[in-house]
Homo-oligomer: A and B are copies of this chain.
Amino acid sequence: MEKVFASIITIGDELLIGQVVDTNSAWIAQELNKAGIMIRNRVAVGDVRDDIWKALDEESEKAPLVLITGGLGPTADDITKSLLCDYFGGRMILHEPTLLHVQDLFERVFKRPLTERNRKQAEVPDVCTVLRNALGTAPGMLFKKGNTRFISMPGVPQEMKWIMEHQVIPQLSSWYQTGHIEHRTLLTAGIGESSLADMIKDIEEALPAHIKLAYLPNYGMVRLRLTAFGNDSQLLQKEIDHHFGLLVTAVKDYLVIDDDIPLELVVGHLLKERGKTLTTAESCTGGYIAHKLTSHAGSSAYFMGSVVSYDNSIKQRVLDVKAATLESKGAVSEETVREMIQGILQVMRTDYAVAVSGIMGPDGGSKEKPVGMVWIAVGDHSETIARQFHFRFDRMRNIELTAINALNLLRQFILQKS
């Protein structure tokens, strides 16, 4: 068995001027990792012939598998296909099965006439193996040069994913004798990266060379990830589980979850196990906590709904927050979020509720209530607790931090109740 590496090249000017965030690479990396292939490098280049050519040269020296996304569209700025044709010394030919597929897509799905430009999508270099793309007009293409395989795919995420899932990943084990890769991840809250490092110093130093520890701080929480590489899958799992167990025990006072799942799913699992339901009353987060909860399939088992009370009149009329409270204490106050909890429990009739009110910025701050000040309350029908937070960042980050801290407060509240 060998340690197999891959490189990813993403092509497109939009990546280099910052108009688009590259989410394809992260997805590809995850999938290849599961198949025992490690990413050595990720490169983004523009729609520039020389730069793409150079990236192909450089990356194929580093890895026996080069995955390329982007630049396969029907418009003039997409130059990847003709460049690959030249790079691998082929000539363009019409690929009949692709043409039939493109015709079918236009007739049945897009319901638009097929233009000459669309027809061209069915042309491919005669030196490639065509990888069918069921969801779009640009097929994937597999090239070989020496011992290196190059796979070109469209940049549209769902088309790339379809080709990877149906055409690339199933073939990997016949192309490479890969080793195994195992990851274990845990999530902590309430402790900084360096204190954590001091706490687990001995465990970290005792790790064998083929198991690596990474610290991943994010939004005031720190993830710890162990990565092990080896040939014997069973032995590897046993080894990594042993070291992971040591870590879990060492950080137990700060442990949120010993799994790589987001906080809203941790909360969801707690609710589901207990057969309890949840609602949110959101002012400053504007529905973001509800969105986080409902972005996972199955959330309807515990999440009933929310009121986004952005305007104070909604806090009063729908959530029954007293006019006197808003007037004397303000919308961003302990009293207001406590009354929001009572109001939303009445409206939604759930077991638990979360309420948030704060100033996310950049405007709206004052000396007493600066940007980043947030009140968060969590409660049930017998008790409500409220806490004040001060975040120091931009609007989006303050919204994210508010959501995460609200979910973590709720998690602790649920655990304390049962």
A interface residue numbers (CB < 8 A to B):
13-23, 25-31, 33, 38-47, 51, 55, 58, 73-78, 110, 112, 115, 117-118, 135, 156-158, 183, 185, 192-195, 197-198, 204, 212-218, 223, 225, 227, 260, 282, 285-291, 293-295, 297-300, 303-311, 313-314, 317-318, 347-349, 360-363, 392-397, 399
CB distance from A380 to the nearest CB of B (A): 18
> What 14 additional pairs, Cβ within 8 angstroms, besides A39-B46, A112-B195?
A18-B31, A73-B217, A74-B194, A115-B195, A158-B394, A285-B291, A285-B294, A286-B293, A287-B287, A287-B291, A290-B308, A300-B310, A300-B311, A305-B309
Among B51, B156, B314, contact of A41 (Cβ-Cβ < 8 Å): B51
CB distance from A370 to the nearest CB of B (A): 14
By beta carbon, the residue of chain B nearest A38 is B16
6 A-B pairs whose Cβ atoms sit less than 8 Å apart in the complex: A21-B22, A43-B44, A288-B291, A304-B314, A305-B308, A308-B308
Q: With A304-B314, A313-B304 known to touch, is A212 a contact of B110 (CB < 8 Å)?
A: no
B30 contacts A197, C-beta separation under 8 Å: no
Question: In the bound complex, what is the Cα–Cα distance between A390 and B309 (angstroms)?
Answer: 31
By beta carbon, the residue of chain B nearest A196 is B75
B194 contacts A115, C-beta separation under 8 Å: yes
Question: In the bound complex, what is the Cα–Cα distance between A110 and B42 (angstroms)?
Answer: 35
B303 contacts A310, C-beta separation under 8 Å: yes
B41 contacts A42, C-beta separation under 8 Å: no
B117 contacts A194, C-beta separation under 8 Å: yes
Question: In the bound complex, what is the Cα–Cα distance between A117 and B362 (angstroms)?
Answer: 34
Question: In the bound complex, what is the Cα–Cα distance between A216 and B12 (angstroms)?
Answer: 10
Chain B residues whose C-beta falls within 8 Å of the C-beta of A110 in the assembled complex: 192
By beta carbon, the residue of chain B nearest A394 is B158
Chain B residues whose C-beta falls within 8 Å of the C-beta of A227 in the assembled complex: 13, 17
Q: 4 tightest A-B contacts by CB?
A: A286-B294, A287-B287, A287-B290, A18-B29
A43 contacts B41, C-beta separation under 8 Å: yes
Among B25, B43, B216, B287, contact of A306 (Cβ-Cβ < 8 Å): B287
By beta carbon, the residue of chain B nearest A10 is B42
Question: In the bound complex, what is the Cα–Cα distance between A33 and B19 (angstroms)?
Answer: 11
Chain B residues whose C-beta falls within 8 Å of the C-beta of A76 in the assembled complex: 197, 204, 213
A214 contacts B297, C-beta separation under 8 Å: no
Question: In the bound complex, what is the Cα–Cα distance between A19 and B262 (angstroms)?
Answer: 12
By beta carbon, the residue of chain B nearest A288 is B291
B43 contacts A15, C-beta separation under 8 Å: no
Among B26, B40, B46, contact of A46 (Cβ-Cβ < 8 Å): B40
Question: In the bound complex, what is the Cα–Cα distance between A165 and B310 (angstroms)?
Answer: 32
CB distance from A326 to the nearest CB of B (A): 14
